[in-house]
Amino acid sequence: MHRLHLIKPDGRSLWLYSRSPLPASLTAPASGSQPASPDSHLRWHPLRGEWVAYASHRQHRTFLPPPEWNPLAPMTDPAVPTELPAGPWEAAVFENLFPTLSGRAGPPPPSIVETRPGHGACEVVVFTQDPSTSLGRLPLDRVALVLDVWADRCEELGRRDDVAYVFPFENRGVEVGVTLHHPHGQIYAYPFVPPVAARELEQQAAFHEREGRGLLQDLLERELDDGERRVIYRGRHAVALVPVCARYPYEVWIAPLRAAPALPDLTAEERLDVARALKTVLLKYDALWQRPFPYILVVHQAPTDGRPHPEAHVHIEIYPAYRMPGRLKYLAGSEVGAGVFTADTLPEEKARELQAVEVSLD
Amino acid sequence: MHRLHLIKPDGRSLWLYSRSPLPASLTAPASGSQPASPDSHLRWHPLRGEWVAYASHRQHRTFLPPPEWNPLAPMTDPAVPTELPAGPWEAAVFENLFPTLSGRAGPPPPSIVETRPGHGACEVVVFTQDPSTSLGRLPLDRVALVLDVWADRCEELGRRDDVAYVFPFENRGVEVGVTLHHPHGQIYAYPFVPPVAARELEQQAAFHEREGRGLLQDLLERELDDGERRVIYRGRHAVALVPVCARYPYEVWIAPLRAAPALPDLTAEERLDVARALKTVLLKYDALWQRPFPYILVVHQAPTDGRPHPEAHVHIEIYPAYRMPGRLKYLAGSEVGAGVFTADTLPEEKARELQAVEVSLD
């Protein structure tokens, strides 16, 4: 993988990626507006024991582009500024113009609860130059490139002192609030280990302490031994399945079979097989009802505190928005207020539906 | 408060409530269909360390009522069965026909993770006979009656061996998945302390251990001392405010000033003032944009394990669906996959908007 690091006129970083060498002559375009001075800060939620992020500069975005304007397209007309240059790049990452978390965040305002600056990073990951495709429809090697890009950013962000946890994710579809349809995801680099990751790591650490092996590895082995009832993809190095304890209908996890703690720890072969698993699942989702299948895709991995995390096992979790065609899965009282997910369908049934969908990776 | 306990022909319980005596001649109508034998079960989610509830009988609901049919209306025509009799009741509670949790749940199917029967209860709370009003638009004494009904059910459900935590809530509006518009809420009685409540109780217990007083009480006092910048209602016994650490725009908490552990512990005077705070907030919500304001309303209180919970402080949390007119607050990657809420607006700004709305409780 080749990478070119550029600095935009407004000071933000841009990284271009390709399997082929990138011309050093490429330059980063200016964006359409000046980035606000980030006033992001974090406040401690005493009852939940978690940080909440506030970034009120985000509501003062002054740049109002026409609806057909695509800031993630390569810039071909100087009159229509975008975030990315024309050129032979295959994937790109840049710092969000209005970040929720930023290394440049100033001191927090005084408060009656503990506060801290909204340090960290918010980056946009552009999966392709083609605005009309999707992550799952990229060629296999290009899906693998996205995983390589994530790993590269995780490694670099993880080295920063103000970053404790790197979190790549993709929100796909208007149903989950996406307004920009060019295939892209995001990376949040938090200055703390976020609550969901912390909880998973706690459970994993307790199991590892007791059993001397990984909790997710143990669960994956049970899944594979259970007649593969919920398995959607099984390769040499990776597996995709509807977990036995799925909280969302059609929820899928994708994991390397080996308990690698984080994306940068995966070998090229493992990453390729994870890409194959991911592409298989995303194509099955879209084929299931012959329409784009909205979801939230997240990567869970080890924190970047420099300590070893033998308990961590990197994996992707995908939470689909629908429970049946046209019927959203709402998060209501029980899910949001108590934290108890309730499902009308069994993971085995949803897995069978996905298993029955034929897709080709070629 | 007067209460009449009836048994429906299908075996489910129905409780009718009123401030005036109820005629003993009232009978509980049969429902339009037979309740399915509940196959609810719980599966342990090893990574998150939480239970997930599965109730696949819920998808086999056979009764397809016409769209104009309101099962929560009093039954006046035997040809159009509803859940409730005609009569002078003011509020009512009945066991959900297709419960996610039920004392009658059978043994769970075998699984590769720990399982248990989906014991507990799911009840529907009908706030009024009037299908066209809302909780906030009920007269003050009737809002207080709803609190009394919740307290009554919390007490009775809390005595059951298969119930560890009683959770009254209201989902309001199609935006949070509601299909039935008659004013009503629900009560889930869980056989375990749900994760959100468990987390809050942990934080509260640690503070109480250290400081000898309540965590929420401490926070409320700080809020009141902070120039009441975020306070929406302040009465003799209760307060409503946008908490300094609000996760949702327009999020409001309502609490008694005294750290009573649970709804049944509140005095009649306290309950009336909580009702006044609640009615004030709900009227302000609807008046803000002159349209019904969708939300999820939940009650957090002490578990019902029979032990004292001096750390617990009962309160209502309301999570509105919108962040501005027509713009939903989506829970996406950061919120759902990492557990980190990100806000574009400050709690102080949203509180000012709600403070500026004039409402009358008369």
pLDDT single digits (tens) A289-334: 999 999 999 999 999 998 999 999 999 999 999 999 999 999 999 9
Angle at B158 between CA B20 and CA A343, to 5 degrees: 105
Cβ separation A337–B300 shorter than 8 A = yes
**Chain A contacts of B169, Cβ < 8 Å?**
332-334, 337-338
**Which residue in B245, B254, B335, B346 has the most chain A C-beta atoms within 10 A of its own C-beta, making it the best mutation to test that interface?**
B245
Nearest-by-CA chain B residue for A317: B337
pLDDT in the model for residue B78: 84
Angle (deg, nearest 10), helices A268-288 and A347-356: 90
Length of chain B: 362
- Please state, in angstroms and rounded to a whole number, the distance separating the CA atoms of residues A317 and A330: 18
Retrieve residue A360's tokens. Answer: 């080709």
The top-level CATH class assigned to A196-356 is: alpha beta
pLDDT at A362 over 80: no
Which residue bears the tokens 């509180």? Answer: B351
**Chain A contacts of B242, Cβ < 8 Å?**
none
> Residue A184 catalytic?
yes
pLDDT in the model for residue B57: 73
Nearest-by-CA chain B residue for A122: B334
Give Cβ neighbours of residue B257 (< 8 Å, ≥ 6 apart).
B217, B220, B237, B238, B239
- Please state, in angstroms and rounded to a whole number, the distance separating the CA atoms of residues A320 and A176: 9
**Are A119 and A39 in contact, with CB atoms under 8 Å apart?**
no
DSSP secondary structure code for residue A101 in this structure: S
pLDDT at B29 over 60: yes
Element holding A46 (H helix, E strand)? none
Nearest-by-CA chain B residue for A298: B337
Q: What is the dihedral of CA A308, B46, A177, B180, to 10 degrees?
A: -160
Q: Please tell me which of the candidates B196, B336, B339 has its beta carbon nearest to residue A319.
A: B336
Strands A115-117, B13-18: parallel, antiparallel or unpaired by DSSP? Answer: unpaired
Q: Does A215 touch chain B (CB under 8 A)?
A: yes
pLDDT in the model for residue B18: 98
**Which residue in A39, A52, A352 has the most chain B C-beta atoms within 10 A of its own C-beta, making it the best mutation to test that interface?**
A52
CATH 3.30.428.10 in chain A, residue ranges: 2-193, 196-356
pLDDT in the model for residue A179: 85
- Please state, in angstroms and rounded to a whole number, the distance separating the CA atoms of residues A143 and A127: 8
Strands B50-54, B41-45: parallel, antiparallel or unpaired by DSSP? Answer: antiparallel
- Please state, in angstroms and rounded to a whole number, the distance separating the CA atoms of residues B225 and B144: 28
pLDDT in the model for residue B81: 87
Cβ separation B49–A203 shorter than 8 A = yes
pLDDT at B241 over 80: yes
Q: Does B7 touch chain A (CB under 8 A)?
A: no
Cβ separation B247–A52 shorter than 8 A = yes
Average model confidence (pLDDT) across chain B: 94
Sheet with B41-45, strands from edge to edge, namely A342-343, B50-54, B41-45, B115-117
Element holding B263 (H helix, E strand)? none
Q: Please tell me which of the candidates B59, B200, B338 has its beta carbon nearest to residue A48.
A: B200
Q: Does A63 touch chain B (CB under 8 A)?
A: no
Element holding B17 (H helix, E strand)? strand B13-18
- Please state, in angstroms and rounded to a whole number, the distance separating the CA atoms of residues A221 and A272: 21
Cβ separation B58–A344 shorter than 8 A = yes
**Are A36 and A98 in contact, with CB atoms under 8 Å apart?**
yes
> What's the burial of B249, exposed, middle or buried (CB within 10 Å: 0-12/13-18/19+)?
buried
**Are A241 and A206 in contact, with CB atoms under 8 Å apart?**
no
pLDDT in the model for residue B58: 66
> What's the burial of B105, exposed, middle or buried (CB within 10 Å: 0-12/13-18/19+)?
buried
Q: Does B114 touch chain A (CB under 8 A)?
A: no
| pLDDT grade for A39, boundaries at 50, 70 and 90 | confident
- Please state, in angstroms and rounded to a whole number, the distance separating the CA atoms of residues B114 and B343: 37
Nearest-by-CA chain B residue for A227: B112
- Please state, in angstroms and rounded to a whole number, the distance separating the CA atoms of residues A267 and B313: 51
pLDDT single digits (tens) A222-281: 999 998 899 999 999 999 999 999 999 999 999 999 999 999 999 999 999 999 999 999
Retrieve residue A218's tokens. Answer: 């143990």
**A161/chain B closest Cα distance in angstroms:** 20
pLDDT at A188 over 60: yes
Q: Please tell me which of the candidates B202, B222, B337 has its beta carbon nearest to residue A196.
A: B337
Helix ranges, chain B (H): 140-158, 195-211, 215-225, 268-288, 347-356
Nearest-by-CA chain A residue for B350: A56
Retrieve residue B11's tokens. Answer: 């075996």
Interface of B with A in 134-173 (CB under 8 A): 165, 167, 169-171
- Backbone region of residue B333 per phi and psi (left: phi > 0; alpha: psi in -120 to 50; beta: other values): alpha
Once rounded to an integer, what is the mean pLDDT over residues B90-111? Answer: 94
pLDDT at B286 over 90: yes
Architecture of domain B2-193: 2-Layer Sandwich (3.30)
On whether ipTM exceeds 0.90, the answer is: yes
Which residue bears the tokens 């375009």? Answer: A29
Give Cβ neighbours of residue B314 (< 8 Å, ≥ 6 apart).
B255, B256, B260, B261, B262, B263, B265, B266, B299, B300, B301, B302
What Cα–Cα distance (Å) separates residue A40 from each residue in A55, B297, B342? 4, 28, 10
Say how far residue A358 (Cα) sits from the centre of its chain: 26
**Chain A contacts of B223, Cβ < 8 Å?**
112
| pLDDT grade for B80, boundaries at 50, 70 and 90 | confident
Average model confidence (pLDDT) across chain A: 94
Nearest to A333 by CA among B245, B164, B318: B318
**B204/chain A closest Cα distance in angstroms:** 7
pLDDT in the model for residue A67: 64
pLDDT single digits (tens) A109-163: 999 999 999 999 999 999 999 999 999 999 999 999 999 999 999 999 999 999 9
Q: Exposure string (b/e) for A171-200, b if CB count within 10 Å is 16 or more?
A: bbbebbbbeeebbbbbbbbbbbbbbbbbbb
pLDDT in the model for residue A57: 73
pLDDT in the model for residue B145: 98
**B311/chain A closest Cα distance in angstroms:** 11
- Lowest pLDDT segment from A47-56, B32-41, B114-123: B32-41
Interface of B with A in 172-211 (CB under 8 A): 176-177, 186, 188, 190, 194-197, 199-200, 202-204, 207
Q: Does A317 touch chain B (CB under 8 A)?
A: yes
Nearest-by-CA chain A residue for B52: A341
Strands B252-256, B238-241: parallel, antiparallel or unpaired by DSSP? Answer: antiparallel
Phi, psi dihedrals of residue B347, rounded to the nearest 5°? -55, -35
Query: Percent of chain B at pLDDT above 70?
Result: 95
> Both ends of chain B: CA-CA distance in Å?
22
**Chain B contacts of A200, Cβ < 8 Å?**
47-48
Nearest to B159 by CA among B260, B261, B304: B304
**Chain B contacts of A135, Cβ < 8 Å?**
none
Strands A74-75, A327-328: parallel, antiparallel or unpaired by DSSP? Answer: unpaired
pLDDT at B32 over 70: no
- Please state, in angstroms and rounded to a whole number, the distance separating the CA atoms of residues B219 and B161: 33
Considering A57, A184, A300, A315, which one is annotated as catalytic?
Answer: A184
- Backbone region of residue A202 per phi and psi (left: phi > 0; alpha: psi in -120 to 50; beta: other values): alpha
Q: Does B345 touch chain A (CB under 8 A)?
A: yes
Cβ separation B298–A336 shorter than 8 A = yes
pLDDT single digits (tens) A56-100: 876 655 455 666 789 999 998 888 889 999 999 999 999 998 899
pLDDT at A36 over 70: no
**B125/chain A closest Cα distance in angstroms:** 14
**In DSSP terms, which residues pair with A233 in a beta bridge?**
A240
Considering B41, B57, B119, B184, which one is annotated as catalytic?
Answer: B184
Which residue bears the tokens 């990951």? Answer: A125
- Lowest pLDDT segment from A220-224, B39-43, B58-62, B95-99: B58-62
| pLDDT grade for B72, boundaries at 50, 70 and 90 | very high
Nearest to B228 by CA among B214, B215, B241, B213: B241
> What's the burial of B80, exposed, middle or buried (CB within 10 Å: 0-12/13-18/19+)?
middle
